Amino acid sequence: MKETCSFLIIFLLPVIYAEAQIHSESSAITPAGYQAQVISEIWWWMLGISSFISALVLLLLIVGLKLRREGTPRPPGGDLWFIVSLGLVLPFVILTGLLLYMLIATNKLIPPNADLTINVTGHMWWWDVEYPAEKIRSANELYIPTGKDIRVELRSRDVIHSFWVPSLSGKTDAIPGLVNTHWLRAERPGTFWGACAEYCGLQHARMMFYVVALSPENYERWVNERKRSKVPTAAQSAGLNAFMDEGCSECHAIKGTNAQGDVGPDLTHIGSRLSLGSGTAVNNYGNLAAWIANPQAIKPGNKMPRAYLPPEQLHSLTSFLMALK
Ligand code: CUA
């Protein structure tokens, strides 16, 4: 009994621990963006029409059963009229109408030009985020200004992923060797979660990201803060040294240092990120230290090996990273 309990606790702990609880929202039927609004209108129309047809079919079934039980004779030629009108003409009219409506509606999803372009590259299992004009690099988070048309250029480094923020827009695949364009426009500020919507391997479910929509003034402030490069203080140099000595810089980049790896997420502003491991855990000192010490316990299968660091070194490395706001 005891063994079973401890086994269960050991087995479940990383699972319980790993689910990030970040205050965010997202649902395709509570749109906060222009594209999501258009898509949700299509959804409501389809739900309404299909509910109406289902009710009609049920009603006809009940009437049919009742007439049969009462032994009412069929009207002559009635079957053919029924099949042609309700089986052919009605579905044709409804489906053609819906098709035309959808073609017109989806055409409205693409704005004439972009106010901002962001490059997003899917990796197993995280998202690289780059603002080419602003020279900002991040991961698993897109900060955008409200009321602006955002073009997301989607790429993939390995397999097919799919970029989806339910409250803001539809899904677009990130396909290796192709550049797909995805459009977003947030109408109000907020933090909206997004997810990979195409099965892409072991940690597909933990390939989440966040879109933080800020008012244009706050967005400007965010850009200026991100552009400022930060030189590590003397107190942080032990952490930076650990970062370089442990080989972290082989995979990760930190702007303003010699760390220029591009296998893993850019860590220039890791301290300000909402989550670790693409929405796997909340970003705080404890979780970051646990992640560095044994990332495979938190997100099995990810590409980061564990770092065998003595406690003081783990502390200075974690403190240094958390200070990179
Ligand atoms: Cu990436 Cu599923």
Question: What integer pLDDT is reported at residue 75 of this predicted model?
Answer: 72
Cα–Cα dist 194/173, whole Å? 13
Let me know whether 21 and 47 are in one domain: yes
Q: Classify the C-alpha dihedral 295-297-303-307 as positive or negative.
A: positive
Spell out a b/e string for 18-37, using b for 16 or more CB atoms within 10 Å of the CB, else e. Answer: bebeeebebebeebbbbbbb
Distance in Å, CA 126 to ligand 1 centroid:
8
pLDDT in tens, 231-275: 667 667 888 888 888 889 999 999 888 888 989 999 989 999 999
Task: With a cut of 50, list the residues of the chain below it in pLDDT.
Answer: 7-18
Number of structural domains the chain divides into? 3
Amino acid at 316: S
User: Omega into 127 within 30° of 0, i.e. cis?
Assistant: no
208 lines ligand 1 (CB under 6 A): no
Question: What integer pLDDT is reported at residue 194 of this predicted model?
Answer: 94
Question: What integer pLDDT is reported at residue 173 of this predicted model?
Answer: 97
Nearest residue (by CA) to ligand 1, atom 1, is 161
Residue 195, domain CATH: 2.60.40.420
Question: What integer pLDDT is reported at residue 175 of this predicted model?
Answer: 97
**72, 107, 142: which is the final residue of a domain?**
107
Q: What is the β-pairing status of strands 161-164 and 190-196?
A: antiparallel
**200, 227, 254: which is the final residue of a domain?**
227
Let me know whether 215 and 289 are in one domain: no
What atom in ligand 1 is closest to the CA of residue 200? 2
Distance in Å, CA 198 to ligand 1 centroid:
5
pLDDT in tens, 181-193: 999 999 999 999 9
**193, 227, 261: which is the final residue of a domain?**
227
Give this prediction's pTM.
0.85
Domain housing 281: 234-322
122 lines ligand 1 (CB under 6 A): yes
Let me know whether 207 and 133 are in one domain: yes
Question: What integer pLDDT is reported at residue 92 of this predicted model?
Answer: 95
